[in-house]
Structure 1
Amino acid sequence: MSIVDPRSGAPLTAPQDTSAPSPQAAPSDEQLIIDVDRNNIQQLLEFSMQVPVLLDCWAPWCQPCKVLMPILEKLTREYRGTFILAKLNIEENQEIAAQLGVRSVPDVKLISQGGLVDHFQGALPEKEVREWLARYFPAPEDAPASPEEQAAEALAQGDAATARAIYEQLMQQNPEHYPYQVELARALVVEGRGEEALALLDNLPPEERDAAPARGVRASIEFREGAPSDEELAALAGRDDSEARFKRAMRQIADGDYESGLEGLLEVMRKDRAYDDDAARKTLLRVFDALGAEHPLTVTYRRKLFTLLY
């Protein structure tokens, strides 16, 4: 198969001047996505002097390759000629694969100006592939949100059912990408299905089960189970002692009002540090786990906690 310029549609056999390309129609799949072998590998390297090439090294027997390839094809179409996707079957082109240093597949290499810029191995989820591409290319202005972004947005808006459906589909596509299972558990918690969420977390490999994201979901389940009921809150009305402040904060956290809850826990610490065996500080740390180390509230309230303690 010959290689054509996705911007002009003309066959390419040697580098050309592309300093002032004329407007063209959207490139076709044939221009953007090609198969590469010994007959056109040199032409591909020459072409990379003009347009970066994403080289997907794959094999027919490789299941992760079959998961990753549709993601790469989708993103290549979105980028509309910013780069092209070249697919190399290493079973049929073992000599080329050896020359490229391919040791396992999928192996995706970014080639520009005839040389290797970067590569990644394994079937990364779409969100991570987008993040990898963003290191080198500006994102298309009208690029749709990734499934992970759609799920996160749905969950932020309280639509846990939509988030759950998205993560269930992502899990089917990539069953060994365990962060999807953790996020599915998070959606189940919001739906009030804590037992199902715990069962899902318990089936994770130990290193995933004990990692911060899974611990955070477990903590959110504990907050919901330990939060005072409406009747208990009503009985605390008018009280401003440590117990009342602590229980109000716990309910705010269980309801998702993390900022108010964190502020309430700090207030308990300021006025009664020893309350219930330092329960406020211990709970703050569990909330940080639930939110994640990079969450803005975690960053802010870790600083406030440090200031209060020291």
Structure 2
Amino acid sequence: MSIVDPRNGAPLTAPQQSTPSPQEAAPGDEQLIIDVDRNNIQQVLEVSMQVPVLLDCWAPWCQPCKTLMPLLEKLTREYRGSFLLAKLNIEENQEIAAQLGVRSVPDVKLISQGGLVDHFQGALPEKEIREWLSRYFPAPEDAPASPEEQAAEALAQGDAATARTLYEQLVQQHPEHYPYQVELARALVAEGRSEEALALLDNLPPEERDAAPARGVRASVEFRKEAPSDDELAALAGRDDSEANFKRALRQVADGDYEAGLEGLLGVMRKDRGYGDDAARLTLLRVFDALGADHPLTVTYRRKLFTLLY
């Protein structure tokens, strides 16, 4: 089998003196993606002396492999020749798989200059694969936003329905990547479907269910129950007393505008330390717990709270 340089279509047989830019050509799949077996594995290793090779070790019975392979193919096309994608069916090439040290699939190995540079196992989410690739290759300038980025942007823009749909797709593709389930719950809360969100969180493994991200979603449900409605918020317009300011801050926290809410709660404490039996301080502590001890807002506002108290 003849292998060509995915960057320019030239046959790869010997080291080249110069390397054309990956952006000089838009190679087809036949140049970017190949199948590997015992007949061409040695040539693939030789090719890696000139162009890095991403070796995807898979098996027909492996369901995560079926999720990962289309993603790798998409990224390979997107990177337009920065690397070659070589696919190895370990069932048909068990000797090669053993020589490569493949113990479970999917197993993706980055090979350059004939040697192993790095590898990852499992069907990682697209964002994590992009981060892994970014260690070795510059990101394409026209790279589209990943589904995860699209979902987060939709949620930030208040389009909870779109975010929920995207997270549902990500959960289906990566059922064991629990952060997607937490974000799906967050989108459900934003849609007003809090009970569904809580049920989803209840089904997470204990270590995920009790971690800060999931606690934050639960807290947002609690804050939404306590926060004023749109009509109640409108009735507070123009008021600058402790009750109005506390309720506005509570609504901001419930809506996920944590920084504004934390600032508002501190403002209530500065003007009326004892309001509501210390309600502002106690709510601040609840927000800290929801965000997690290492969250930048927790660190910043815990320090502000300490300064205010002492």
| RMSD over aligned Cα atoms | 2.5
Counterpart secondary structure, 1:97: helix
Q: Which runs of 5+ in 1 are unaligned?
A: none
Q: Which moved more, 1:86-95 or 1:293-302?
A: 293-302
- Once the two structures are overlaid, the 10-residue window that deviates more, 186-195 or 23-32, is 23-32
- Contact 1:14–1:43 under 8 Å retained in 2: no
Q: C-alpha offsets along residues 146-191 of structure 1, whole Å, 9 cap, x if unaligned?
A: 0001111111111111111111122222222222211111111111
Deviates more, 1:73-82 or 1:125-134: 125-134
Question: Kindly tell me: are residues 11 and 263 of structure 1, through their superposed partners in 2, closer, same or farther at Cα, counting changes over 3 Å?
Answer: same
The 8 Å contact of residues 22 and 80 in structure 2, kept in 1 or not, is answered as: no
Q: Are the equivalent residues in 2 in contact too, given 1:48–1:114 (CA < 8 A)?
A: yes
Structure 1 pair 256–209 and aligned structure 2 pair: CA distance change class (3 A): closer
Conserved 8 A contact 2:227-2:251 = yes
CA distance in 2, matches of 1:99, 1:281: 61
- 1:222–1:263: structure 2 CA closer, same or farther, 3 Å change rule? same
How far 1:274 sits from its partner (Å)? 5.0
User: Within 2, Cα distance between the matches of 1:293 and 1:154?
Assistant: 27
Per the alignment, do residues 285 and 96 of structure 1 end up closer, same or farther by CA in structure 2, a change over 3 Å counting? farther
Cα 1:234/1:83, change in 2 over 3 Å: closer
Q: After superposition, where does 1:191-230 map in structure 2 within 5 Å? A: 191-229=191-229
Local SS of the residue matching 2:22:
coil
CA 185–99 in structure 1, closer or farther in 2 if over 3 Å, else same: same
Q: 1:276, CA displacement in angstroms?
A: 4.5
Describe the shift of the 1:23–1:66 C-alpha distance in structure 2 as closer, same or farther (beyond 3 A): closer
- Name the residue aligned to 1:135: 135
TM-score, scaled to structure 2: 0.89
SS of equivalent residue, structure 1 residue 10 = coil
Question: Contact 1:178 / 1:208 at 8 angstroms: preserved in 2?
Answer: yes
Provide the rounded CA distance (Å) in 2 between the counterparts of 1:153 and 1:233: 26
Query: How far 1:84 moved relative to its partner?
Result: 0.8
**2:42 matched residue in structure 1:** 42
Structure 1 pair 261–54 and aligned structure 2 pair: CA distance change class (3 A): same
Deviation at 1:247, TM superposition (A): 2.2
Q: State the shift of 1:272 in Å.
A: 4.6
Q: Partners of 1:143 and 1:194 in 2: how far apart?
A: 35
Contact 1:58–1:105, Cα closer than 8 Å, also in 2:
yes
Deviation at 1:241, TM superposition (A): 5.2
TM-score of the pair, normalised by structure 1: 0.89
Determine the C-alpha separation between the residues in 1 that align with 2:21 and 2:229.
Answer: 67
Residue of structure 2 equivalent to 1:23? 22
- Return closer, same or farther for 1:60/1:270 CA change in 2, 3 Å cut-off: same
Cα–Cα, structure 1 residues 15 and 277, in superposed 2: closer, same or farther, change >3 Å? Answer: farther
Q: Residue 9 of structure 1: CA displacement?
A: 1.7
Cα 1:23–1:176 shift into 2, 3 Å = closer
CA contact (8 A) 1:213 1:289 kept: no
Q: 1:307, 1:98 → 2: CA distance?
A: 61
Deviations along 1:57-81, whole A, 9 cap, x unmatched?
A: 1111111111111110000000000
Per-residue CA deviation, residues 247-274 of structure 1 (Å, 9 max, x unaligned), is 2311232244433211111123334545
Tell me, in whole angstroms, the C-alpha distance in 1 between the residues paired with 2:267 and 2:22: 62
Cα deviation per residue 1:109-139 (whole Å; 9 max; x = unaligned)? 1111111111111110111111111111111
Aligned residues: 308
Secondary structure at 1:12's aligned position in 2? coil
Which string of whole-angstrom CA distances, capped at 9 and with x for unpartnered residues, describes residues 199-240 of structure 1? 111121222211111111111111111113456557767765
SS at match of 1:111: strand
1:202–1:209: 8 Å Cα contact kept in structure 2?
A: yes
Give 1:141 deviation, angstroms: 0.7
Between 6-15 and 144-153, the greater mean CA deviation after superposition: 6-15
Greater CA drift, 150-159 or 35-44: 35-44
- Check 1:236–1:112 CA distance in 2 against 1; reply closer, same or farther (3 A cut): same
Asked whether the equivalents of residues 15 and 46 of structure 1 are also in contact (C-alpha less than 8 Å), the reply is no
Aligned partners of 2:7 and 2:82 also within 8 Å: no
Cα separation, partners in 2 of 1:69 and 1:234, compared to 1, 3 Å: closer
Please name the residue that 1:290 is paired with. Answer: 290
Report if aligned partners of 1:216, 1:286 keep a CA contact under 8 Å in 2.
no
Deviates most, 66-75 or 106-115? 106-115
Asked whether the 8 Å contact 2:220–2:256 carries over to 1, the reply is no
- Over the matched positions of the two proteins, sequence identity in percent amounts to 90
Query: Structure 2 vs 1, CA of residues 88 and 247 (structure 1 numbering), >3 Å: closer, same or farther?
Result: same
Change (3 A) 1:23 1:91: closer
Give the Cα–Cα distance (whole angstroms) in 2 for the partners of residues 150 and 235 of structure 1: 35
CA distance in 2, matches of 1:245, 1:143: 44
The worse-fitting range, judged by mean Cα deviation, of 72-81 and 245-254 is: 245-254
